[in-house]
Amino acid sequence: MALIKLLPAHEIQKIAAGEVVERPASVVKELLENSLDAGANHIVLYIEDGGKKRIRIIDNGCGMVYEDAHACLLPHATSKITSVHELAVVTTFGFRGEALAAIAAVSRMTLITRHVTQLDGNKLVVVAGSVEQESAVAANIGTDITIDDLFYNVPARRKFLKTDTTEWRAIQQLVYAYALDYPACTIELYHNNTTVINCQHAESLEQRIVQLFESPLTKQLINFNGTTDDDMTLAGVMAGYQYSRFDRSQIYIFVNNRWIKNHKLTAAVIKGYQNILPQGQYPFAAVSLAMPTNCVDINVHPRKEEVQFLHPRKVETFIQETIQRHLEQSLQKRVIQEQHRAIMPAVLPFIEDNQKETDIAQNKQFVPISYSNDLSHLIPIPQQQNVQKIEYGASALDVVTTGNKYSDDQQAVVSVAPLYRIIGQLDHTYILLETDEGLVMVDQHAAHERIMYEKIGAQQSAPESIQLLFPEIITLTKSDYEVICENISILASFGFDIEVWGNCQLRINATPLHVKQHMCKDIVATLITELIESQDAQVEAAVFAKKIHHALRALMACKAAIKAHDVLQEHEMLDLIKQLFVVPNRLTCPHGRPTSWLMATYEIEKKFKRII
């Protein structure tokens, strides 16, 4: 007996829907893209229970006439292309004509739409892809689609949905991306009747970022742009080096206005920040790449989340270099400002009224720090019997005693201080030391981070707190608030005194000793990120606790530490170096970067061909 049978049409549709509709966020993506394709400049989204219960989207786009309101529910029905050749030039998000049919097949849909040319709207109630009711209704121009009970008729799919909180987070992330992609579009997003986004038309991406995000990100935005000789252009806004996150969730990449996920392009953005952000920390960047449509294939992913480039390496390099260049320019500007600030007190009395600030910064007499040549900074090696000489490891400071190489976290090295002289600061980032072994370069941020990390760890059993004069109020999204409320004790264990308020607010009354009030928001945000990531990855309780503690300690250390490009006085450098010599695990910062590096005199002599 023959075994192969044709599946009924409604079963085919349900199976096909699996490709397009993975989770509530994919429904939101398709509906949002349809609204943008319809020319909407005002979109309102209502989500209930992470989108599992209801997704409603209202737009003021062109709407659909009666016939199209029916046709849009059919598979392979589209107004956007008429032949596959047009794919090479298509500029709309949609082109397959399958999204609405797929969504309708696995939900209860209510579609109300009124075309610009019509006086009335049409309402269709669609259940599992079949129109059950229809009527003429009064409606605004545009389209209003409600999706209820997603996957109600495909229990196997519904079972695979994650918690409401996780599904909601995916929707939120998506709407943020589109809000960045279309700054001119007014976007409102509500979850379970709470307002999450309410962004009016913005004149620029920068203005949109300010609408969506808070300080400290919004305080240090850098605009960037670039072009190539083969018509690729890049434009965007990124955060300066002072802002970072522990995840990549704020790296948004748009290619010809499509929000895409591309591991390599994300890596290119991160590489643009290399040497600027410590390992394990990631920037904010909204990167918009425009290129000729024949250089990118948009039809390679079932949910159009990925694209394929004709010359992927070229695109990666272009992104990395553009970001790097603009970061460097911004850092240079900052160094001039820092120098200016560092010498301000001495200089101000001599400024002529009409002398401009730029003149001050460029004035040649303003060499910020002068280093004495005397040997008063030589630290004598203590007269200990077991101390023979001080050696430097291949990549960092290390101490060797007779017959005994102490491992880095053994306190035995504490009493040993090497012989050195501070030469000065290189690029206001590295402290240069002359030692009897050669030239040692200490990364001031990495070194101070390690010092702070160990200090915070040492105080963990009885953390000291500072009472804030004015409590810090932090407002969170509902989902973040819920996550933090369940884990408030972690922050308490570091010395935070936090009260949970209604209305998604936290009130911070006291902070740990090293934490300044302005860092609180970042620390709470990091805790949320770590908690979410660990919950999503379902890590074991012991690993979870360790990971969270490390992340928070590292963040506090990073925030409290002096930064690259901070101008240091001689005594500050000396203090830092003295502390570094006695801190455990001093070879690397908490993120694994080396704190110091030796260029042996022998190597230098070889370079200059004094020895062969």
Site for ligand ATP contains 532 (CB under 6 A) = no
Residue 316 interacts with which of Mg ion, ligand ATP, none, CB < 5 to 8 Å by class = none
Site for Mg ion contains 529 (CB under 5 A) = no
**In the complex with Mg ion, which residue's Cβ is closer, 103 or 440?**
103
Question: How many Å apart are CA 535 and CA 537, to the nearest integer?
Answer: 5
Residues 6+ apart with CB under 8 A from 108: 125, 126, 127, 128, 147, 148, 149, 152
Region 459-518 residues binding Mg ion, contact defined as CB under 5 A:
none
Site for ligand ATP contains 26 (CB under 6 A) = no
Site for ligand ATP contains 60 (CB under 6 A) = no
Site for ligand ATP contains 94 (CB under 6 A) = yes
Q: Which listed residue (34, 262, 266, 529) binds Mg ion by CB under 5 A?
A: 34
**In the complex with ligand ATP, which residue's Cβ is closer, 97 or 226?**
97
Question: How many Å apart are CA 526 and CA 243, to the nearest integer?
Answer: 12
Residue 153 interacts with which of ligand ATP, Mg ion, none, CB < 5 to 8 Å by class = none
Site for ligand ATP contains 99 (CB under 6 A) = yes
**In the complex with ligand ATP, which residue's Cβ is closer, 112 or 237?**
112
Region 112-131 residues binding ligand ATP, contact defined as CB under 6 A:
none
Q: Are the beta carbons of 412 and 584 closer than 8 angstroms?
A: no
Site for ligand ATP contains 35 (CB under 6 A) = yes
**In the complex with Mg ion, which residue's Cβ is closer, 63 or 94?**
94
Say which DSSP state 427 is in: T
Question: How many Å apart are CA 119 and CA 414, to the nearest integer?
Answer: 84
Site for Mg ion contains 143 (CB under 5 A) = no
**DSSP secondary structure letters along 95-154:** -SS-HHHHHHHTSEEEEEEE-TT-SSEEEEEEETTEEEEEEEE---SEEEEEEESTTTT-
**In the complex with ligand ATP, which residue's Cβ is closer, 26 or 534?**
26
Site for Mg ion contains 113 (CB under 5 A) = no
Site for Mg ion contains 99 (CB under 5 A) = yes
Q: CA of 219: how far to CAs of 241, 522, 544, in Å?
A: 11, 14, 32
Q: How far is residue 274 CA from its own chain's centroid?
A: 15
Site for ligand ATP contains 143 (CB under 6 A) = yes
Residue 257 interacts with which of Mg ion, ligand ATP, none, CB < 5 to 8 Å by class = none
Residue appearing with tokens 């669609």: 126
Token reading at 54: 């209801």
- Point out which residues pair with 397 in neighbouring strands: 392
Ordered strands of the 258-260 beta sheet: 221-227, 233-239, 285-290, 251-255, 258-260
Site for ligand ATP contains 100 (CB under 6 A) = yes
- Point out which residues pair with 328 in neighbouring strands: none
How many residues contact ligand ATP, by CB under 6 A? 23
CB of 6 to ligand ATP, least distance (A): 24
Footprint of ligand ATP (CB under 6 A)? 30, 34-35, 38, 59, 61-64, 72, 77-80, 94-101, 143
